[in-house]
Amino acid sequence: MGKSLVNNVYFLGGFATMGGMLFGFDISSMSGVVGTERYQDYFGHPSSSLQGGIVASMAAGSFLGALLAGPFGDRFSRKYTIMLAAAIWIVGSIIQCASVNVAMLIVGRIINGVAVGLASMIVPVYQSEIAPKNIRGRIVSLQQWAITWGILIQYFIQYGCSYIQSNAAFRVPWGIQIVPGAIMLIGMFFFPFSPRWLADKGRTEEALEVLANLRANGDKNDPAVLAEFRDIQEAITFDRTQAARSYLELFKHPYSRRVFLGMTLQSWSQLTGMNVCMYYIVFVFRGAGITGQDANLQASSIQYVLNVLMTIPAILFIDRWGRRPVLLLGSTAMAFWLFLIGGLMGRYGEATTLEGDSTTSWAIRDQPTVSHAVIACSYLFVCSFAISWGPVSWTYPAEIYPLRIRAKAVSLSTASNWAFNFILAYAVPPALEHIQYRTYYIFGGFCAAMTIHVYFQFPETKGRTLEQMDEVFNSGLPAWKSLPPPSDKIHHEAADEKVGEKTEI
């Protein structure tokens, strides 16, 4: 792998997001088959509760993986933890592909989940630690884009395999999941360690070399490199004056507020209902009156394409727009579309029974105009998430913590994501069966609540280095008032004095 590529922040950040692509693959690996006759027949037509358990088993594994990723990332490095996730993913995919019953399928999904939990936690941390502040949001947002690509690619694989007249219709897509895991495992071997992790481990010469390669084509005397490196060293020096690191300090002043914000942000991202729409899109569209496998698959594919396309504006402009306005507008829009879907289905739907589908107990029948309106609202809901909470929910937690607690704190926030993912994946099929269209009101209410929470509690973080986040959260200003733009003049003047001199570490 060329030296210029492995020192390019965009390439490094983009390739690492294959960890996010694994999550996307998993979403589509189930959403594309849960409504197919082959899957239903082979696994004995799972009840709504059992189907929820099958889907939720991945999130249970991810919860464990996210908690393990914190200490693993600190001890063994961000790089090796990503490689471990890829290896575990390969094992889980093999078991899932070879499943002969529900129990074996669940075991494979749990193992896959551990891999996804590890990757989804450590990849944003790695990205945030290698990216310069002016494009950090863009780099970390690539994680969400990779998830959407994983969903789309696997879904079309599922779509093509649905025409296979054998059990290969679901085994082939599950087996293909091995490919991205293998690529990530091999590719990450050539990538650099995080410069901040190296500095934290006392490997300062290596840290400076990596930082210089990432920022200035290897020039260790570049003023910006020296300024950033000095900030990292000062943060680590301060850290050495503190007590031994532990999970307990995450819940004490001055870190408890930030830890709570990271955990709630990731929890809210699940409570939007977005991943529910991804996992159970077949049931959502059946409730909207779309019947027939081909029609449902085609309608679903449009939603997945929109998910990919609408993430692009967020990637390009998140560092210009900021985090707060994107979150506020996104949750407000999502609440509107969810309430509208619930209202349309409640007004025009009726109790129904579909053969082989106990989950869809309420549907719109023989009213194509209303059905199209519900589907349009579903598409707009996905677009609202893709351009806002999708990318920011990964970016914000990865950037707000000091190095001392970053890995552990991000592991807790990501674990919160997977805890709610598990709860919702398990509970939504019974909810759609028993409370029907009112399910959309519940998620609409969550979106309205998160708008209020973000407005009063989440300060803006764009344009600041990771080492400057203490200024943001310790300023005493309310969240809706931003600090003046940071100035690097002093840092650069100090660094300028060292230009041309031998840097002693």
Query: Which pLDDT value is given to residue 486?
Result: 64
Domain boundaries, the chain: 3-193+252-473
C-alpha span between 251 and 121 (Å, rounded): 19
Query: Which pLDDT value is given to residue 494?
Result: 42
Region 129-154: mean pLDDT is 92
Q: What is the pTM of this model?
A: 0.87
Model pLDDT for residues 356-398, shown as the tens digit of each residue: 677 788 889 889 899 999 999 999 999 999 999 999 999 999 9
More confident residue, 247 or 485: 247
Query: Which pLDDT value is given to residue 428?
Result: 84
Mean pLDDT of the chain: 88
pLDDT at 491 over 60: no
Query: pLDDT tier at 453 (50, 70, 90 boundaries)?
Result: very high
The superfamily in CATH containing domain 3-193+252-473 is MFS general substrate transporter like domains (1.20.1250.20)
Query: pLDDT tier at 160 (50, 70, 90 boundaries)?
Result: confident
Residue 490 in tokens: 């002093």
C-alpha span between 350 and 14 (Å, rounded): 46
Query: pLDDT tier at 3 (50, 70, 90 boundaries)?
Result: low
C-alpha span between 381 and 83 (Å, rounded): 34
Give CA torsion, residues 67, 69, 74, 78, to 10 deg. Answer: -160
pLDDT at 244 over 70: no
Query: pLDDT tier at 501 (50, 70, 90 boundaries)?
Result: very low
Neighbours of 145 (CB within 10 A): 23
C-alpha span between 174 and 155 (Å, rounded): 11
C-alpha span between 365 and 319 (Å, rounded): 45
| Separation in Å, CA 427 to CA 25, 100, 187, 435, 468 | 22, 25, 38, 11, 41
C-alpha span between 239 and 224 (Å, rounded): 23
Query: Which pLDDT value is given to residue 65?
Result: 96
Residue 19 near residue 184 (C-beta atoms within 8 A): yes
Residue 185 near residue 83 (C-beta atoms within 8 A): yes
Model pLDDT for residues 167-184, shown as the tens digit of each residue: 998 899 999 999 999 999
CA 381, 383, 388, 392 torsion: positive or negative?
positive
Least trusted range by pLDDT, from 394-398, 461-465, 484-488: 484-488
Q: List all residues 6 or more positions away from 256 whose beta carbon is below 8 Å from its beta carbon.
A: 250
Closest CA to 322 of 450, 449, 464: 464
